[in-house]
């Protein structure tokens, strides 16, 4: 789904996950968990810094498993940093993210809102990325969000 923002686009994905909001919330704020589930298919994650508190910062790299990737920072990696703007345990995480890139089409601060809604059978997890830089393909981004949500489900449902 697309919408308005500074760059004119918001990309959203949602998934029912068979786990409680509290279990999912922990997977959103623990660095080893985030490195495991957040990278979309075809990438692996490295946490370079992670301070999970409101105002705390983080820095991560997604590295393409295929050496012929199309990274935003290097040929095979996307490096990004951000801060936690809001943390409401069991309910919501808001992150402000910037990509490290010399390409101006990846500039700007993307706001990622992850909402956890308890529903019958688990939790509805919705990820809304606002102010998406124009260098990120809408189709690729939607696929990436869906892949990350699938990874998150596999991570928490296996526990």
What are 102's two structure tokens?
């010399």
Q: Is 54 exposed, middle or buried (0-12, 13-18, 19+ CB in 10 A)?
A: exposed
Q: How much is the pLDDT for 2?
A: 42
Q: Average pLDDT in the 17-33 region? A: 98
Q: How much is the pLDDT for 76?
A: 78
Domain locations in the chain as residue ranges: 10-157
The CATH label, of 3.40.50.880, 3.40.50.970, 3.30.530.20, 3.40.50.150, for the domain at 10-157 is 3.30.530.20
106 closest CA partner among 82, 77, 73, 129 = 73
**Global pTM?**
0.90
């Amino acid at each position: 789904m697309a919408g308005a923002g500074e760059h004119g686009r918001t990309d959203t994905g949602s998934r029912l996950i068979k786990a409680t909001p509290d279990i999912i919330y922990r997977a959103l704020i623990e660095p080893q968990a985030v490195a495991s589930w957040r990278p979309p298919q075809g990438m692996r994650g490295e946490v370079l810094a992670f301070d999970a508190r409101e105002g705390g910062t983080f820095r991560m790299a997604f590295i393409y498993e295929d050496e012929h990737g199309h990274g935003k920072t290097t040929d095979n990696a996307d490096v990004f940093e951000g801060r936690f703007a809001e943390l409401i345990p069991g309910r919501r995480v808001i992150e402000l993210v910037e990509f490290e890139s010399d390409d101006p089409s990846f500039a700007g601060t993307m706001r990622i809102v992850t909402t956890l809604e308890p529903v019958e059978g688990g939790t509805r997890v919705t990820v809304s990325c606002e102010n998406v830089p124009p260098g990120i393909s809408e189709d690729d981004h939607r696929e990436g969000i869906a892949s990350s949500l699938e990874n998150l489900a596999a991570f928490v449902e296996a526990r």
